Amino acid sequence: MPAEEMGKLTGRTRLIFAISSVVFLAVLAISPFKDFRREWKQYKRSYLRLAQTRPDTKKLLADYRRDIDQIWLPGMNVIDRCTTCHQGITQASLSDSAVPQPFRAHPPIPHNVRDWGCTVCHRGQGPATEVAEAHESTLAWEQPILPTRLIQASCGTCHYADLPQTPQLTKGRELLAELNCQGCHRLPGVERPAMLGPDLTNVGMKVSREWIYKWLKEPRTIVDKDGNVTVNGYETEEEPRMPKFRLTETELRGLSAYLSIQKAKSFVPYKIDAHLVAAWSKNPELASQGELRFRQMFCSTCHSLAVTRAGETKLIGGDIGPELTKVGSKVNTDWLVTWLRDPHGYLPHTKMPRYGWSDEDLYKVTQYITTKLTDSDLLTGVAQLGQPTEDEIQLGHRLFLEKGCASCHVIEGLNPQKDFGPDLSAIGGKNASELEFGAAKIPHNLVTYIQAKLQDPTSVNPAARMPQYNWNQADLDAITTALLSMKSAPPTSALQNLVVPRKEVAFRPTGAFAEVYERYKCYTCHKFNGYGGDLAPELTYEGSRAQRQWIVDFLKNPQTLRPTLVLRMPQFNMSDKDAATLADYMTMVLQHPAANPAAIDARQFTPAMAALGKQLYEVKYQCQSCHTIGGTGGYVGPNLNNAGGWLTPAWIEGWLRNPQDLVPDTIEPRRNFTEAEVNALTAYLMTLRQSIKPQKTATSAGSHAAAQGAGQ
């Protein structure tokens, strides 16, 4: 290469070098520009602009941090940079809903954000500094933030015990237990009861094959085109416990055949003396007297009936037992008599109490049920299925196991498959990639999956065995919340220490009381030491509250203390001996440590004190806004007509000083009474007496009116 050409080349190289240097510098300059434009820095700047417009600019600027801010809690696995953008989170002056997000203050909650971080409750990707990465699910992070309407799920990941602030979570947990989800799924904290669905060992004695066929086809739930749920043709708000299975005609025939031959136990029908029956059956008022007895015994507390008023048909009554509007067309009469007389002989774990029937009452009520609670059209549309064939029975037997029927219903001698459905104890922490979405066109995340599966199990998996439930949005969200809270054991020991365990609530009485307690199934409606139903008042401290004689009289003839209640304590026809056994146990064992009835002598109350108490009651504190005395007063609290014959003075005084000390969730507000006022009010209340001894005619009429009233 000649020298001058070399020189030329060098000249051109220089030019290229110069230009590329400029370009390189320009490219380098892009980097700080990009850094300046980063999303979180933009939020920093707009926060500064917001701070300038606020009255407390100085304080806001003093707390301002220029860089990425993070909450680092190594023991809890928390590295949350959320506060980089959510800068006003601890500034009380920014709590106003007019402050734009992401700068608004966090609402006041029991946990301090600096001690807990954000993702512990809200989920999402803590270390991320971009909105989309922090909030949504990405390829690298599959736990998007929880929708706020389901946020109570996060409370439940540590608080296994129920909290008053999380009604939705509590409702969801109750629904899981009530709908017997634990029949097929393993659920943490939901105990499997002795009986989920009815025991079917002897079901062939009770109902016909045709009835079983219809029940399986439409388990009393029908959803019409407008989404109204009906039970046996009546609208209801309660989700029936038996869900709808998607069964084919052959499957229906097989299962009905198999179930209709279940007559394992020898069954001895209870026979009432034929002479007596002959005499009673001439009574033209038979069914209406049976109906009166049915009402007086308050069967409606557990069983509902369809009632038509002003052209509108509604189910009235409780939902502890089955709805009975058409039960006369369902069950066999011999079975019914035997069942009513001793339910525990047929189903040892039933919630139905054993009543003390007289033969006459038993006959009348049976007549009422079998002649009035009927529907001749109940089985229309169901073909006569005839005698079950061997093939049908074989098929039914197989289906009973394969469809999961055996997970909730016991048939003696039949062993159900263990853990029939998936274990749900860690469902709340599942990643989207672990879930099967099938052909469902929904966003792929855990919340949409759970809700789609609950609403229609086949939408995410056409071969799903899970039956069909009907949810309203509130129940769907409640149960989703409960499922999302189940994230298995917390991963780090620091978090494990935070778990608030569920209270052990077993109440296992012994002796004579236990026998009566089991016979009348008191725990179906009442709680004892936190164990039992919540339909009726908790009885844990009943011995401190009520006088022994009142308990005996009440058990013999229960009358409600709250005039607006629809559901009332049934009339058990209890013997004197049973009532005494219950009352003795209550007064001796069910005592509150702070209210000892023996500590206060009622003789200390003078008429002058009572007069002052009356004055306080009626004028100064106007207790009549909530309580009734005589014919006037409010309906919120119990009526006090018989306060002196019902309550112990020790209980009244303790209650007036601090109601929540005796019954933590009572709504009676705690007042600021002086000690003299407490004594005076107690003295006054102890003067109020009214007999609750049964008066034959008056009570019958009264109960009838009450039952009528209950139906409104």
Q: Which residues bind another protein (CB under 8 A)?
A: 12, 16, 19-20, 23, 26-27, 30, 33-34, 39, 97-98, 107-109, 130-133, 135-136, 147-149, 151, 164-165, 167-168, 564-566, 619-622, 624-626, 633-636, 660, 667, 669-672
The residue (of 133 and 584) whose beta carbon lies closer to another protein is 133
The residue (of 86 and 293) whose beta carbon lies closer to another protein is 86
The residue (of 424 and 525) whose beta carbon lies closer to another protein is 525
The residue (of 457 and 633) whose beta carbon lies closer to another protein is 633
The residue (of 130 and 412) whose beta carbon lies closer to another protein is 130
CA distance 288 to 280: 13
Shortest distance (Å) from residue 176 CB to another protein: 21
Shortest distance (Å) from residue 562 CB to another protein: 8
Shortest distance (Å) from residue 637 CB to another protein: 9
| 102 cis-preceded (ω within 30 degrees of 0) | yes
> Six-digit token pair at 699?
């009570």
Yes or no: say if 449 and 425 are a contact pair by the CB < 8 Å rule: no
Contacts of 259 (CB under 8 A, 6+ apart): 200, 203, 204, 209, 212, 396, 400
Identify the three-state secondary structure at position 79: strand
Cβ burial, residue 548 (10 Å; 0-12/13-18/19+): middle
The residue (of 61 and 636) whose beta carbon lies closer to another protein is 636
The residue (of 190 and 656) whose beta carbon lies closer to another protein is 656
> Six-digit token pair at 457?
């199990």
Shortest distance (Å) from residue 658 CB to another protein: 8
Identity of residue 589: V
Run of H or E residues at 223: strand 221-223
Q: How far is CA 11 from CA 21, 163, 615, in A?
A: 15, 82, 113
Shortest distance (Å) from residue 538 CB to another protein: 16
Q: Which of 113, 114, 88, 112 is nearest to 102 (CA)?
A: 88
Shortest distance (Å) from residue 376 CB to another protein: 34
CA distance 488 to 188: 8
Q: Which of 86, 71, 84 is nearest to 38 (CA)?
A: 84
CA distance 85 to 92: 17
Shortest distance (Å) from residue 710 CB to another protein: 10
Q: Which residue has the tokens 């001894």?
A: 693
CA distance 122 to 119: 5
Q: Which of 328, 371, 314 is nearest to 211 (CA)?
A: 328
Shortest distance (Å) from residue 390 CB to another protein: 54
The residue (of 4 and 35) whose beta carbon lies closer to another protein is 35
Q: Which of 321, 340, 208, 344 is nearest to 265 (CA)?
A: 344
The residue (of 148 and 376) whose beta carbon lies closer to another protein is 148
Shortest distance (Å) from residue 152 CB to another protein: 9
Shortest distance (Å) from residue 668 CB to another protein: 9
The residue (of 192 and 620) whose beta carbon lies closer to another protein is 620
Yes or no: say if 351 and 320 are a contact pair by the CB < 8 Å rule: yes
